Structures are given as C-alpha cells and as structure tokens.
Chain A
C-alpha cells in the first residue's frame, strides 16, 4: 500500500513514435487512480512502465520511498490484471491463483488457505479445480483479480479489465473492483478509455492525450472544470460556443471569471479553468456548457441565455435530448431530465445555464 510517484518519465519506440512525452504523476496511498484516454494516448504504456514491463527512457518511478525504476517486474510487488486476463490455460483456477504465492515460497496449509480465501474474496468459492476455459468472461475476470490480490501487492495495476465484458456485467464488476480495492486498502492504477467507468468509481482521474497528462483531478473536477477543450469533450457531451472577452468580472481567491459576448450579442459569464491563463478583454475564448446544464427558461435574465429554435428531439425515457439552433446559427445539445412537457420542432425557446456550469476555455 504505497504511494506511487512518477517523475519525468519519457518513453519512445524507435525514432518516431513517442509514447510518453514527460509524465509526472502522484498516486496517493490507497487511492483508486484512473488513467483515462483514447486509444494510443500512452495510458497502457504508462501502466506497463509502472509494472516494470517497459523501461522508461528517462525519469524515475517510486513506490513509497523506494526507487523502483530499474527494478525488474517480479521484484516490484505490483500485481497486474491484464486486458486479456492472461490466465494460464495449462493450470486450474486454483493453480493460477496459487502461482504468485508459490513464487514467494509459500507452501502447505498456508498456500491452500490463502488461495481459497482469495477465491472467496471474489466470490468464486468451489471453483478452484475448474479449468480456466470452463469459466464465463466475468468469472475469468474475477480469477485474474484474485490471482493479483492473493499476493497482497504493494499496488494493483488494471489494464482495461472490463473491456471484454458485456454492459450489464461491466456495471457489476466495476463496483466490485472498487469494493475489493477499498476493502484491501490497495493503491490501484486503473487504465480505461471509458469515461463513465472512470467517473463512477475513481478517486482520481488523470486524462491523457498524446503521451502526456492533460489534467488530474477528482471525477467532479475533471467533469465540471475541464481545463481544455479536449478534456471537456472527452469527459462527456458538451456545447462549444465562441465569443470575445468583454469584462473581467473578478480575479481573486474565487478564481478568474470573465464575461464574454458572442458575435450574435449573447452574453456568457463563467470561470477560466486553465491555471495561469488569464485572457484579456477582446481575447477570443470558447464557452463550454454541458447539455444537462442548460434549461428552458425565458425569465428575461440576460446572462448565460441563448435564444433559438428546436430542430430535433430524441426521447430517451429518463431524459429527452433536443437539438436547438441558436439565432446565431450554432447547434446546441440540450438534455432535460424527467421532462414535463415535450417541445415540438420549430418551437422558439430560450436556454439558460447557471454561472458555475459555464467554463471558459482556450480556443
């Protein structure tokens, strides 16, 4: 249960392919930490570097106080759960789980007890003599988890552990993984490309792009205060509108807040999330508002209000999605929870967002 510290790690393959540009990251003790990004962003490379399966070209990795940079995989005490599970087909479920213990010289009763205990921990009692190929996908996934947990690793590394499961099972297993990680008090690094998975179970998320970390924060921080267009878009659906800074509302301990006027004269007011970026008056900015942050309201409030016409609607039961074309001509997604009455296409509407839901980003 160590913290993981990653200092200036770089990794490239050959001359042209840069997998990790320069990654600095701190994973706190007992944290369930997510590496989130599209495929090819370097998240799996980073995980494999932590596991010792790849060696960084530059930089250092610490488990707690210990520098593990040159330490081979088998001496790191970092157990990994692979995307393919990598269960050994020539061993039974029990043998798979017992493997790590045997490698640590554990024998006899203790070996048996701890193996069975680990299987119990993932709710697979009585499966120890099964062959691996006799298990369902979800069961295999849990064997892989038990195999990693049984050795009481310093940290647990998970590489898209749920990507081979169907939707229903994915939902069950992600809460299950969180339960286990918290129960054992493990430091866990979890790689995924599924933002919903990350938002729902992570303590902290690092959003990666092109081999670097774009943003680190709690799920709420990265969702509600994304620091770039990329993060805003990657974390969920959002609307981007453009405008020029008209007035700097405040620049103090409450943050940097600006008022922006679009070409059509709409007025937006919200926070600048990127630290160190302070747009001046007349600078161009992108306004990001999530569909669920917009509501139909023509109270006459002029700030953060857009007028437009309903183009299309998609009824989804719990929510309803509207596509609205603003008077300026920009398409805007709106989602309304538990809609009272449905709006028809061609209906003129006014949309309003609260100031704390409006984010100002670099164009």
Chain B
C-alpha cells in the first residue's frame, strides 16, 4: 500500500520533471548538435572553439566562476568558524544579517556600483575632493576593473551559501569527535586541521560547487556592468537572432557540460565520507563566550562583511532617493519622487503584481512537489529512491540560462510548451513552471532534512492511536517539518522573485514583465529610468530581506541544512 503510493508519486514527479526539466535541456542540446538537415554535427561547437571571441567569453566565464568561488571561500570560512565556536555581542542579529546579501539581487546592486565607481561616480568625487585625483583625469574604475568588480559582487552575493554549508557541516559534527582529539592531547590548530576541516570538506565542496556554477553562469551582473566578453552575456545577446543562429545553443551546451561536470565531481567527493556526520549530535557544542575587545572585534568583522556586501545596495537606495547624483560623493538633494513616479509608471506596479503571482505560484507548486518527493525519499522503502533524490538536485547543476533557452524554443512557434502560453501571450504558467523547477531542490532539501530529523516513530505512534497514514502525516509529520518547510518555501519564493535568466528571456511583452525584467527595461530608458529602477529594486530588497530574516529565524542554526545538496 505504502509502496504503491510511493511508486505513483515517483511516477508523477518524474513525469513532471522529465517534461519540464529534461526535455528543455535535451532540446537545447539538440539545437546545438543538429545541423539544418537534422544530422548530428559538431560544426557549431567547432565554430565556438575556433572563434577567439567565444573562447574568450567562455574563458572569462570560467575565470569569473573560479575567482568568485575563491573569494567566497575566504569570506565564508572565517565567518562560519567564528560563529560556530564563539558567542559575541549581537551574534543573534549579526548571523542573520550576514545572510541577507544572498537575496539582495546583485543585478540590482550592480546599478548602484555603477553610480559609485563610474567616471562621474561617488568614489571619484570623494578622491577628487580629498585631492587624491585630478578632476581633469578621473580614473575609469569599471572600465579597467569590470572583471574584478563582477567577482567581488558575486562573492559578496554568494558567500552566504558557502557560509551556511560550512556551518551546517560543523553543526552536524558530533562534538565528541573534537573532544576526543582534545582528550588525546591535540592542540586547537591540530584539531582544526586534522579533525574539523576534513570532516567539513563535504560541506565545503557542496557549497563551493553551487557557488561556482552560480557565478559561472551569472547573467545579470555582467550585463549591468556592460561586460560583454563573457559567455552568458554572449548567449543573451544571441537571442536577438535566435531563429537563425544556433551558436547560443552551442554555447549553452558547453556551459551545461562544464556545470554538470563540476557538480558531479563535487558529488563524488561528497559521497565518499559520510562517517561522523550524525544527523543528531549527541551533545551540544559548547559555544565559548568572547568577552571584551575580542568579542567586539568579531562583531565588527561580521558587521563589516554585511556592510561591504550591501554597499552596492545602499548605492541603489541613494540613487532611488536622489534628484541628481552625478559627480558628487552623496546625492545633491534627496527626494521621494521616484517612488511616486514609480507607482505611476506602467511597468512598476504591473511587474510587482506579476512577480508576486509568478513567485507564489511557483512556491505553491514547489511545496506540494517537495513534500511528496521528500516523503518518498525519507519514508518509503521504494527501490531507487536515492536516484530520485539525485535527480531532484539536478536543476542546481543546470544553469538557469540553459533551461530558459529550452523553454523559449519549446514554447515558440507552436512548440510542445505553447500550451503554457496564456491568452494574449501571457507567460505566467511558463514562468511559474520554470521558476518551480529551478527552485525545487531548495524545497526538497528543506522537506527532506525536516523529515530526517523527525523520528518516524512519531507518525507510527499516531497510526497506532488510530490515525490513518494520511491523517498521521497531516497531524504529526507535517507540523513537525513545518518550520523547515516554511523556510525552504520562503527561500524558493525569494529566489523566484529575483530570478534573472528565465525572467529576462521568457517574458516578452511589457505587461507581463516580472520585477527583474522591469528593472532591466527601466535601466535602458532615458531620463530617470535608473532612479525608478532603483526605487523598484529597493522595494524588492526590503520585501525579500524581511522574508529571509523570517525564514532563518524560523529554522535557527540548522538552517544550513537547506543548503546541503
């Protein structure tokens, strides 16, 4: 009976997944490898690898990925270690604050950065004011340092993923492991090097792989920085003549291959060492209290990371309230008129409404699918449920761009997905499904970790008291995983609200634009487009900041399990 249900759920989920994930990916690959006559061909790949511009684009994307991951690591590791081991003034708030940058869209932040680091930006104005720079020959920071600007922005955006991963790995360590080493005479450094770090490696690799894939395929930031020699942007630009040009597809295929490879390698490394990672540590780690100056120094460094990560967004905020910000340190005068104008702008209100609709639809779909899948993975004894688990994590390895492309070509010109396009070309269903597929891993992980942590006997007890299996799950199983499920859902929702690739590529009429596409469109309008875009960005950030803080307040320290893939 239980097995029957598990098989049915698996069948339905796999079907959904096959249609809305594997098919679009396969479609992209097909476009990349079939020539006009439908014959298999590597001609397009050859074009890419023989064209220095595409090669440079790929190389730059790869370098961005690697450097962003390294930078991320150096921000995340110290923060995670410190917050695992010590308490310091304001820890409760600071540890939540440092997570906030994850949902602050770097794509929006980049707008702020441009205004601060541009030729006529705030930094140059400051340097000129202080006399370090001649007003006649200002430095073009972004012209010279676009690459590092993107790396920095990526790192400051993505470090929370790695931070949460490492923290979760540490949290799942049985403290007795370290205590045993201590008991045998190991110094703190030896303990860290020989016990803690090796045991955390799976967590570090898991996080690093996601950070790499994310920054490798990042579209929004390079786009706003006008950094055109990078593969994702080249792909995006290539859409304009999509029907005739198979090159973007071939590029997408190359990026997909690299991403999947990286993900697979991290999985192999991850799979090797499961020992010592008990899901429930026997004893709680003793957090030591750092008093006085040391404690405050730690607090300061947390605050510093947070402020550094949010500087671009403060820039956005200033931009949104400035009447004129050009060649000065701070805006000359402040005004709220852009918020007012924004509300009157046809794109703004519509896009907020659209994004809310798309994101909540996707979240709803994710929660239902996620709970069902998690139930099969954790509670049923179905053969092959581990395969299902691995399958559900695949969207993490596939760049958003790839999926977006698949959806695009399958929904155009009466393709298989054209039924998802509503009346007057509304992409609502298409975007809901696209968002849902890409964010599904987060919800599945949340539900799985919730179920794994709650004892199956609790549900069995309910059944032995006379509750049917469904009732037992509803009254006992679900409430117990409720918090982690809500946290996963909020996370999925937050990411869906700020999704870039699908949104930019799939929403084609202005009245159906989600927030990100509206911001992108506003950025390219003349006049006060930037300011209104910033006002919209600020609304989105406030909204998401609150949502995320809520999510992590709900799950507490174990929130990191949401990121253990």
Q: Which residues of A line the B interface, CB within 8 A?
A: 51-53, 72-80, 82, 84, 86-90, 99-100, 103-104, 147-148, 151, 157
Interchain CB contact under 8 A, A74 and B460: no
Residue of B nearest to A80 (CB): B464
Interchain CB contact under 8 A, B464 and A78: yes
A123 to B545: give the CA distance in the assembly, Å: 50
Interchain CB contact under 8 A, A73 and B460: yes
A74 with B457, Cβ < 8 A, contacts A90-B479, A90-B480, A99-B462 known: no
Closest 5 CB pairs of A and B: A100-B465, A86-B461, A86-B457, A80-B464, A73-B463
B471 contacts across to A, CB distance below 8 A: 74, 103
A72 to B462: give the CA distance in the assembly, Å: 12
Task: Name 5 extra pairs, CB < 8 A, besides A72-B463, A76-B464.
Answer: A51-B464, A53-B460, A78-B464, A80-B460, A100-B466
A72 contacts across to B, CB distance below 8 A: 1, 463, 468-469
Pick from A53, A90, A103: contact of B465, CB below 8 A: A103
Which of B1, B464, B465 has the largest count of A CB atoms less than 10 A from its CB?
Answer: B464
Query: Is B19 an interface residue when CB atoms closer than 8 A count as contact?
Result: no
B41 contacts across to A, CB distance below 8 A: none
A88 to B464: give the CA distance in the assembly, Å: 13
User: In the complex, how many angstroms separate the beta carbon of A78 from the nearest chain B beta carbon?
Assistant: 7
Interface size class of B (residues with CB under 8 A): 20 to 34
A74 to B1: give the CA distance in the assembly, Å: 14
Residue of A nearest to B482 (CB): A90
Interchain CB contact under 8 A, B479 and A73: no
User: In the complex, how many angstroms separate the beta carbon of B291 from the nearest chain A beta carbon?
Assistant: 31
Query: Is B498 an interface residue when CB atoms closer than 8 A count as contact?
Result: no
A99 with B465, Cβ < 8 A, contacts A82-B457, A86-B458 known: yes
Q: Which B residues from 445 to 504 make CB contacts under 8 A with A? A: 455, 457-458, 460-469, 471-472, 475-476, 479-480
Residue of A nearest to B381 (CB): A13
A103 contacts across to B, CB distance below 8 A: 462, 465-467, 471
Interchain CB contact under 8 A, B464 and A157: yes
A74 with B461, Cβ < 8 A, contacts A90-B480, A99-B467, A104-B466 known: no
A53 contacts across to B, CB distance below 8 A: 460, 463-464
Residue of A nearest to B465 (CB): A100
Residue of A nearest to B456 (CB): A86
A51 contacts across to B, CB distance below 8 A: 460, 464
A51 to B461: give the CA distance in the assembly, Å: 10
A144 to B466: give the CA distance in the assembly, Å: 15
A82 with B463, Cβ < 8 A, contacts A72-B468, A88-B476, A89-B480 known: no
A87 to B464: give the CA distance in the assembly, Å: 13
Pick from A74, A80, A88, A104: contact of B458, CB below 8 A: A88
Interchain CB contact under 8 A, B465 and A151: yes
B476 contacts across to A, CB distance below 8 A: 88
Interchain CB contact under 8 A, A77 and B466: yes
A84 to B467: give the CA distance in the assembly, Å: 19
A86 with B465, Cβ < 8 A, contacts A53-B460, A99-B475 known: no
B480 contacts across to A, CB distance below 8 A: 88-90
Residue of A nearest to B467 (CB): A103
Interchain CB contact under 8 A, B468 and A84: no
User: In the complex, how many angstroms separate the beta carbon of B64 from the nearest chain A beta carbon?
Assistant: 45
19 contacts between A and B (CB under 8 A): A51-B460, A51-B464, A53-B464, A73-B464, A73-B469, A74-B463, A74-B466, A76-B464, A77-B466, A84-B457, A86-B455, A90-B480, A99-B465, A100-B465, A103-B465, A103-B466, A103-B471, A147-B461, A151-B465
A52 to B466: give the CA distance in the assembly, Å: 11
A148 contacts across to B, CB distance below 8 A: 464-465
B463 contacts across to A, CB distance below 8 A: 52-53, 72-74
B469 contacts across to A, CB distance below 8 A: 72-74
A248 to B464: give the CA distance in the assembly, Å: 53
A151 contacts across to B, CB distance below 8 A: 465-466
A77 contacts across to B, CB distance below 8 A: 466
User: In the complex, how many angstroms separate the beta carbon of A258 from the nearest chain B beta carbon?
Assistant: 48
Interchain CB contact under 8 A, B466 and A80: no
Interchain CB contact under 8 A, A80 and B461: yes
User: In the complex, how many angstroms separate the beta carbon of B382 from the nearest chain A beta carbon?
Assistant: 14
A157 to B480: give the CA distance in the assembly, Å: 25
Interchain CB contact under 8 A, B465 and A79: yes
Interchain CB contact under 8 A, B455 and A74: no
A78 to B464: give the CA distance in the assembly, Å: 6
A76 to B466: give the CA distance in the assembly, Å: 8
Residue of B nearest to A159 (CB): B457
A140 to B480: give the CA distance in the assembly, Å: 19
Pick from A74, A86, A157: contact of B468, CB below 8 A: A74
A191 to B461: give the CA distance in the assembly, Å: 16
User: In the complex, how many angstroms separate the beta carbon of A16 from the nearest chain B beta carbon?
Assistant: 16
User: In the complex, how many angstroms separate the beta carbon of A156 from the nearest chain B beta carbon?
Assistant: 10
A75 to B464: give the CA distance in the assembly, Å: 8
What 1/0 flags go to B89-118 for Cβ under 8 Å of A? 000000000000000000000000000000
B475 contacts across to A, CB distance below 8 A: 99
A74 with B479, Cβ < 8 A, contacts A100-B465, A148-B465 known: no
A100 contacts across to B, CB distance below 8 A: 465-467
Which of B1, B457, B471 has the largest count of A CB atoms less than 10 A from its CB?
Answer: B457
Which of B463, B471, B476, B480 has the largest count of A CB atoms less than 10 A from its CB?
Answer: B463
B467 contacts across to A, CB distance below 8 A: 74, 99-100, 103
Residue of B nearest to A89 (CB): B480
Residue of A nearest to B462 (CB): A99
Residue of A nearest to B457 (CB): A86
Residue of A nearest to B460 (CB): A53
Pick from A75, A76, A82, A89: contact of B460, CB below 8 A: A82
User: In the complex, how many angstroms separate the beta carbon of B206 from the nearest chain A beta carbon?
Assistant: 29
A297 to B458: give the CA distance in the assembly, Å: 58
Residue of B nearest to A83 (CB): B457
User: In the complex, how many angstroms separate the beta carbon of B420 from the nearest chain A beta carbon?
Assistant: 39
User: In the complex, how many angstroms separate the beta carbon of B518 from the nearest chain A beta carbon?
Assistant: 41
A82 contacts across to B, CB distance below 8 A: 457, 460-461
Pick from A74, A75, A147: contact of B472, CB below 8 A: A74
Residue of B nearest to A13 (CB): B381
User: In the complex, how many angstroms separate the beta carbon of B465 from the nearest chain A beta carbon?
Assistant: 4
Which of A74, A78, A82 has the largest count of B CB atoms less than 10 A from its CB?
Answer: A74
A86 to B456: give the CA distance in the assembly, Å: 9
B472 contacts across to A, CB distance below 8 A: 74
A147 with B465, Cβ < 8 A, contacts A72-B1, A74-B472, A90-B479 known: yes
Pick from A79, A84, A90, A104: contact of B464, CB below 8 A: A79
A104 contacts across to B, CB distance below 8 A: 466
User: In the complex, how many angstroms separate the beta carbon of B280 from the nearest chain A beta carbon?
Assistant: 12
A302 to B476: give the CA distance in the assembly, Å: 68
User: In the complex, how many angstroms separate the beta carbon of A203 from the nearest chain B beta carbon?
Assistant: 22
Residue of B nearest to A90 (CB): B479
Which of A51, A100, A104, A147 has the largest count of B CB atoms less than 10 A from its CB?
Answer: A100
Interchain CB contact under 8 A, B466 and A86: no
User: In the complex, how many angstroms separate the beta carbon of B459 from the nearest chain A beta carbon?
Assistant: 9
Interchain CB contact under 8 A, A84 and B465: no
B462 contacts across to A, CB distance below 8 A: 88, 99, 103
A78 to B463: give the CA distance in the assembly, Å: 10
A75 contacts across to B, CB distance below 8 A: 466
A157 to B475: give the CA distance in the assembly, Å: 22
User: In the complex, how many angstroms separate the beta carbon of B473 from the nearest chain A beta carbon?
Assistant: 12
Residue of A nearest to B472 (CB): A74
Residue of B nearest to A77 (CB): B466
User: In the complex, how many angstroms separate the beta carbon of A137 from the nearest chain B beta carbon?
Assistant: 16
A76 to B472: give the CA distance in the assembly, Å: 15
B465 contacts across to A, CB distance below 8 A: 74, 79, 99-100, 103, 147-148, 151
B455 contacts across to A, CB distance below 8 A: 84, 86
User: In the complex, how many angstroms separate the beta carbon of B456 from the nearest chain A beta carbon?
Assistant: 9
B466 contacts across to A, CB distance below 8 A: 74-75, 77, 100, 103-104, 151
A22 to B478: give the CA distance in the assembly, Å: 37
Residue of A nearest to B480 (CB): A90
User: In the complex, how many angstroms separate the beta carbon of A143 from the nearest chain B beta carbon?
Assistant: 11
A86 contacts across to B, CB distance below 8 A: 455, 457-458, 460-461
